[in-house]
Amino acid sequence: MQRRDFSRSLVAAGTTALATAGGFTLTPALAQRIGPKEGTDYIRLPQPVPVDSPAGQVEVLEFFAYSCIHCFNFEPVFEEWIQKKPAHVTVKRMPVGFSPQFAPMQRLYFSLEAMNLVGKLHAKVFDAIHVERQPLTTPPAIIDWVAKQGVDRAKFTEVFNSDATGKKLERAVKLQDAYSVEGTPSLGIAGRYYLPGQGPRTLAVANALIADLRKA
């Protein structure tokens, strides 16, 4: 979803109909046929972005927003890709902050991350918004929902409102700006490449670029 469309999506969060995810199927044949073209399939960053991953690791950042229907559709195939990725690939999710309205959802993700709850609740957040149509866009709604999932309300609230979580938001925004992110879902590869979302092509292009980096 493009940045300009997000104001409407935030208003409609929780009322979006479930869309099919079948268009995101990534087949081996497609991956083999893919020939990534610079400027079309990916953008080479004019200024490399510092990475946190150690030497020998290829860092992959996923820029996403819980309110984005395309991110919802992309999530299951991306999670499957994560489970099968090579050991030399490090994946980090980065919730975007195109405006102050995004801050509560960014805090939601980083709080789940800090509490080791991403595996348990990350996909459920997408379902709550896009299937159950719950407007999880404000702190009270988010905290109430998380508490209903069996998470300690007081502990989650503390993490949600903490300075540490706020600093993660600031870093996420700096990274999205460094990669010139204009839409979601999209990927940042090794501090060198930006991949706009292209449905089934996205991960095929990522695989090709990762393979090239491994050869370098």
pLDDT digits (tens, 9 = 90+) for 179-199: 999 999 999 999 999 999 887
* pLDDT of 12: 46
Number of H helices, E strands in the chain: 9, 5
The Cα–Cα gap between 22 and 77 comes to 10
pLDDT digits (tens, 9 = 90+) for 53-73: 898 899 999 999 999 999 999
Residue 214's pLDDT band (cuts 50, 70, 90):
confident
Residue 216's pLDDT band (cuts 50, 70, 90):
low
pLDDT average, residue stretch 81-106:
96
pTM: 0.85
Domains of the chain are 3-7+22-215 (3.40.30.10)
Query: Average pLDDT of the chain?
Result: 87
* pLDDT of 15: 33
Q: Is the pLDDT of residue 135 over 50?
A: yes
pLDDT average, residue stretch 102-125:
98
| C-beta of residue 118 within 8 angstroms of C-beta of residue 149 | no
